[in-house]
Amino acid sequence: MKKNTLVPFFSLILFVSYTPFFAQQQITDITVVEDSEAPIINKHIYGHFAEHLGRCIYGGFYVGEESVIPNTDGVRNDIIAALKDLNIPNLRWPGGCFADTYHWKDGIGPLNERPEIVNTWWGGVTEDNSFGTHNFLNLCEVLEAEPYLSGNVGSGTVQELADWVQYTNFKGTSPMSDLRRENGRDEPWSVKYWGIGNEAWGCGGNMRAEYYADIYRKYATFMSDADMEGGIYKIASGASNDDYEWTETLMKNIPRSMLQGVALHHYSVIDWGAKGSDTEFTEDLYFKTMQESWLMNELIEKHTAIMDKYDPEGKVDLIVDEWGGWYDVQEGTNPSFLYQQNTMRDAMIAGMTLNIFNNHAKRVKMANLAQTVNVLQAVILTEEKGQKMILTPTYHVMHMYKVHQDAKLIPLSFTSPEYTFEGSSLPAISVSASINDDEVVHISITNIDPKKTNTLTLDATSLHIKKIEATVLKSEKLQDHNTFDNPDKIKPTEFKNFQLKKGKLEIDIPPFSVVVLKGSH
Ligand code: AHR
């Protein structure tokens, strides 16, 4: 296909994604596409997700005020510091599947009066409700992150969710805001983001899309915008992977005025019955995981096309509120707790997926990595018995990419070299770029080819870059990961394999690495 630098932005995305790749290509030329309507990369694309699941909340974030581990109101200080440094823009809670079993009133008021409950989705363990609404919303304030509350539709009531909104958001006198004050909080938290159920097609109630669309309308009707400037932002439980009919049914049947976001869940899992080891995997399994991760590009484009049909003005956002790698749990851990290690393979998933989100920033306005601590593709792991915590390769990728938050996308045109394995191919390189308010340009590049260095060139004259600094995340083996005994085995280092001559940038991207370049005047 002939390159065309004057294509509108959306056509450009299709061009980048579907251009056939040429084998044996040694050097890849990247071109900057002038586009006055390029979107801002919403910072919420870099969001996170913390469920009452395994050791994410209890024994992860929350150790209790009496713990010997330094904490703020029971939440580990080292986790708070790490997440603040990551600039996490939002945090989704309390689920996931757990959300549709959660009755928020169980988690407020004096600790000794809170009922014990059973977490039926995740291991049948008993929880004492010591971490509830106040703990979560106060934590979000400390983190300077927007809370995203997932409401219980599956086993809750319309009144219960309407009450939660009033409890968190209403300033004046009302039954719920008075109760909030009794529980020690005067000012409302003003929670903007609300999910109306989770995976309504599955653990959220096994509903049909038509039925859920009606249920959604009913719940949304009673969630009050009172005291919320601009109103609350309601997110419909979205499709699993390629269930395009689900998105179509919601877009067709829910009035625009009631719907701000439609969710999408996609995990990089190779086979739900045989997910494979988190740390001991062959190239075959690695390639399959990369295929699943790259599928995100197609899923976003096809769900977006349906949304465009019903909402050409782009008023409803696509919210990928669960994504990440999913493998068998670490040996010896509770199978329901979904505790897995995090290797360079996960760094590849993160680097590629965040580039996909950035390049689709026109419709994708929020995404939430599953999950923050000790569950699935976590950014932080904590010891079960000891006090140590580690930052994973995924943490480092998100840290390197945080520079894109709220920056303006710079659309790029290029044809990726191929990563070929046993006759199948994937684009080896994913890349996205942005320019921030200080006119600093950032380019993030992920090379998933485990064997080949890929050389890229970019004519950066139009970006007026004079000086470049760069960091890289790489390691010797794909299976490498940080451990409690060797927490810094994988961490970003300075990257120098590039040259800038007369505005032309040439970069050698090592095998399975992530590179972020910072270009300034
Ligand atoms: O993230 C783990 C689970 O995956 C969530 O609870 C659910 O929404 C999804 O199926």
Q: What is the pLDDT of residues 190-244, one digit of tens each?
A: 999 999 999 999 999 999 999 999 999 999 999 999 999 999 999 999 999 999 9
Per-residue pLDDT of the chain (521 residues; tens, 9 = 90+): 223 333 333 333 333 333 334 344 478 899 999 999 999 999 999 999 999 999 999 999 999 999 999 999 999 999 999 999 999 999 999 999 999 999 999 999 999 999 999 999 999 999 999 999 999 999 999 999 999 999 999 999 999 999 999 999 999 999 999 999 999 999 999 999 999 999 999 999 999 999 999 999 999 999 999 999 999 999 999 999 999 999 999 999 999 999 999 999 999 999 999 999 999 999 999 999 999 999 999 999 999 999 999 999 999 999 999 999 999 999 999 999 999 999 999 999 999 999 999 999 999 999 999 999 999 999 999 999 999 999 999 999 999 999 999 999 999 999 999 999 999 999 999 999 999 999 999 999 999 999 999 999 999 888 999 999 999 999 999 999 999 999 999 999 999 999 999 889 999 999 999 999 999 98
96 close to ligand 1 (CB < 6 Angstrom): yes
For ligand 1, atom 9, which residue shows the shortest CA distance? 96
What distance in Å separates the CA atoms of residue 255 and residue 513, rounded to the nearest whole number? 44
What distance in Å separates the CA atoms of residue 440 and residue 463, rounded to the nearest whole number? 9
SS3 370: strand
Listed residue (478, 512, 517, 480) closest to 497, CA to CA: 517
100 close to ligand 1 (CB < 6 Angstrom): no
How far, in Å, is the centroid of ligand 1 from the Cα of 96? 5
Atom in ligand 1 nearest the alpha carbon of residue 95 = 6
* pLDDT value for 521: 87
* pLDDT value for 407: 98
278 close to ligand 1 (CB < 6 Angstrom): no
Atom in ligand 1 nearest the alpha carbon of residue 202 = 10
Atom in ligand 1 nearest the alpha carbon of residue 99 = 6
Q: What is the 3-state secondary structure (H, E, C) of 166-196?
A: HHHHCCCCCHHHHHHHHCCCCCCCCCCEEEE
φ, ψ dihedrals at 60, nearest 5°:
-115, -95
Q: Which of 55, 57, 98, 199 to mutate to test the pocket of ligand 1 (most atoms within 8 A of CB)?
A: 199
Atom in ligand 1 nearest the alpha carbon of residue 98 = 6
Q: Which of 92, 93, 101, 203 to mutate to test the pocket of ligand 1 (most atoms within 8 A of CB)?
A: 203
How far, in Å, is the centroid of ligand 1 from the Cα of 378? 13
51 close to ligand 1 (CB < 6 Angstrom): yes
313, burial (CB in 10 Å: exposed 0-12, middle 13-18, buried 19+): exposed
Name the pairing type of β-strands 364-370 and 47-49: parallel
Q: What is the pLDDT of residues 285-312, one digit of tens each?
A: 999 999 999 999 999 999 999 999 999 9
Listed residue (158, 155, 154, 174) closest to 166, CA to CA: 174
Distances (CA, A) of 117 to 54, 122, 131, 139, 154: 14, 12, 12, 22, 17
127 close to ligand 1 (CB < 6 Angstrom): no
How far, in Å, is the centroid of ligand 1 from the Cα of 321? 10
Q: What is the pLDDT of residues 438-450, one digit of tens each?
A: 999 999 999 999 9
151 close to ligand 1 (CB < 6 Angstrom): no
Q: What is the 3-state secondary structure (H, E, C) of 242-303?
A: CCHHHHHHHHHHCCHHHCCEEEEEEEECCCCCCCCCCCCCCHHHHHHHHHHHHHHHHHHHHH
Widest pairwise Cα distance in the chain: 70
154 close to ligand 1 (CB < 6 Angstrom): no
Name the residues annotated as catalytic. 199, 322
